[in-house]
Amino acid sequence: METQTNKTGGAKDFFINLGAIVGLYTLVVSLINLLFTVINKAYPQIMNGYNYFGSSSISWPVATLIIFFPIFIFLMWLMEKEYIREPEMKNHGIHKWLTYITLFIAGLVIAGDLITVLYYFIDGQELTAAFLLKVLVLLVVVSSVFIYFVSDLRNKLTTKSRIFWRIYMGVIILGSIIWGFSVLGSPQTQRLYKYDEQKVNDLMNLNNEVINFYSNKGTLPKTMEEMASGNYYVAPVDPQTQKPYEYEKTNNTTYNLCAEFNKASDGTDDSTRPVSPYEYTTWTHPAGRYCFSQTINPNLYSKPAPMIR
C-alpha cells in the first residue's frame, strides 16, 4: 500500500500539479489578452455603428503575468524535482490527466484558429493586419504549450530543455510587456488615460441627467445647480482636478459639456455610445479643454401634460 501511494503521489503532488496547470492557463490567457490589447491599439479597426465600454488598459494582464510567472516557474521546479526523485509518479495520477486535458484544449484552440483563417479566406472577408497578428499570437502561444506537453508526455524533456523552455517563456512575456508599454505608454500614461476615461463616463452621466431634466420639464436647465435642485442628483467633479465639469446652455435645444483631457482619444474605444434607443453621440476628444456639443430632439421627449384642477 505504501509503494502504491508513492507512485500515485499524495496531496502534495495533487496541489503542485493543479497549481502549475492553473498558473499555466492564467499565464496563457493573460499573455493573449495583453497581446490582443496591444494589437488593437497598434492596428485600430474602423468601427461601424457603436461599441460599448472596452478598456485599452494593459494593467491587469501585465500585473497577472508579473506575479504568476515566478509562481509557475517555482511550481514547475518542484514538480521536476519530485519526478526526478520518483520518475514513476509522472505516469500515474493527476499529472497524466492534466497533461492530456491540456493537450486536448490546446489542440482544439489550434484547430479553431486555423479554421477561422480558412473561413475568412473562403468567405472573401478582409484579412487585416490586426486579424492576422491575433491568429499568429494564438498559434505561437498555444502551439508552444502543445509542443511542450507532447515532449513531456514522450519523456523527451531534459533538465537543459526545461531551462530552455523557461527562458523562452520569460523572453516572450518580457518582450510582450515591453511592447505593450511602448505602444500604450508607461504606467503614468495609463493613469492619465484612466482619468480621461472617467471624465468621459462622468460627462455621459451628466448628459443623461440633462436629458431627464428636459424630458420632465420640457426645457433645458440653465445651470447644473438648477438641474440638481429638487432631486438627489449630485453633479460629478473632475477626479483629477476636483473641479466641476462645465455645462453651458447655448439655445433651447443645444448645450455644451466641457472637460479638460490629458490625452487625445483615438476613436477606437467606445467612440460612439448610445444616448437613447434613437440617438447616439460621439465622445472622441483631443488633448486639452474640449466641449461636446449636444442637441436635444424635441420630438423624442414629450412635455409633461398640464395638471387638471
pLDDT at 308 (0 to 100): 54
Question: With bands split at pLDDT 50, 70 and 90, how would you rate the model's confidence at 169?
Answer: very high
pLDDT at 36 (0 to 100): 94
- With a cut of 80, say whether residue 309 has pLDDT above it: no
* Mean pLDDT of the 42-54 span: 54
| Separation CA 280–CA 273 (nearest Å) | 6
pLDDT at 231 (0 to 100): 66
- With a cut of 50, say whether residue 50 has pLDDT above it: no
User: In sequence order, what E strands does the chain have?
Assistant: 246-249, 254-261, 272-276, 279-282, 288-295
* Mean pLDDT of the 162-186 span: 92
pLDDT at 155 (0 to 100): 85
pLDDT at 5 (0 to 100): 44
- With a cut of 60, say whether residue 184 has pLDDT above it: yes
Q: Cα 269 to the chain's mean position, in Å?
A: 11
| Separation CA 109–CA 102 (nearest Å) | 11
| Separation CA 204–CA 200 (nearest Å) | 6
pLDDT at 177 (0 to 100): 94
Lowest mean pLDDT among 163-177, 232-246, 263-277: 263-277
- With a cut of 90, say whether residue 174 has pLDDT above it: yes
Percentage of residues of the chain with pLDDT beyond 70:
84
